[in-house]
Amino acid sequence: MGITDLIDHALHREPQPKSYEKKRKYRIGKTLGTGTYGSVKEAVNVSTGQKVAVKVILKKDAASQNEMVQKEMQVLQNLDHPNIVKFYDWFESRDKISRVITTDDEIMTTMCGSFGYVAPEIFKRTGYNKAVDIWSVGIITYTLLCGYIPFRAEDRAAFIEEVTAAHVEFHDRYWRNVSNDAKGFILTLLNPNPTERPTAEEALHHKWLTGENAADIDLLDGITENFNARKKFKQAIDAVQALNRIKGASKSSSEEESNEDENTNVKADEKSVRLQV
């Protein structure tokens, strides 16, 4: 009996599951991102040096979905495709399930990007099924047709509120050349009520996809313009934030050197750079 087992016995705790031994194979690092049911951490296989990501699922938060989690791991173990994260192994403790996935650095550093595709029922924690994938297809379709995502709040709480309300807007400037059938298809997929979303087969038979009323309009130029505009906007924000940090550091340094009166008040808007849009 090991020291951990002795402690568990003394505290009347359940022993760790057998698979927990596999945790020793990995050196767990920083958290890459968090989600509804847990987090993703970077890790290294101590014997091979292989970089991996470990998805940690809290059992208490996914108690009603345990069977689904197990089935999902079985499916992932049988997948082998360059565009799908590779599933390597899993282990569990008394309160967590850890899934070892992907060696792709790009995926590891952008794992939280999937946040924008999450369906309302996941945020509400009301349980979910295949309908969440239909929602994600709706988000992807919207983005491909206009160049930006439908829900764009920067604050997490505001973003979740936007998603759960599911109020989808088609701004005329970017959507004027997109057919009503396409918009209708998106609205059907982005229905906040999962029971009212179409199945994958039903979606494939939507008139927008069957081409019954297809119009010969090239949307590529407009979409590319929107993507580039958002990229430049993001670069401008990054530049302003960097400049503000520099000014803030300069201000702190000046205050230390001059030892001025601490009660001197300086308005924040006179010392910061703001981006007007």
Annotated binding site: 59
Indicate the SS3 state at residue 90: strand
Residue ranges of the annotated binding site for ATP are 59
Q: How far apart are CA 159 and CA 148, in angstroms?
A: 15
Alpha helix locations (H) across 99-219? Answer: 105-109, 120-124, 131-146, 156-165, 172-175, 180-189, 200-204, 207-210
What is the number of alpha carbons within 13 Å of residue 233 lying toward its C-beta?
9
Q: How far apart are CA 40 and CA 56, in angstroms?
A: 6
**How many other C-beta atoms are found inside a 10 Å radius of the C-beta of residue 123?**
15
Question: Which residue, among 181, 239, 246, has the nearest Cα to 211 in the 3D structure?
Answer: 181
Q: Provide the sign of the torsion angle of the four alpha carbons 205, 218, 113, 274, taken in this order.
A: negative
The DSSP secondary-structure symbol of 126 reads S
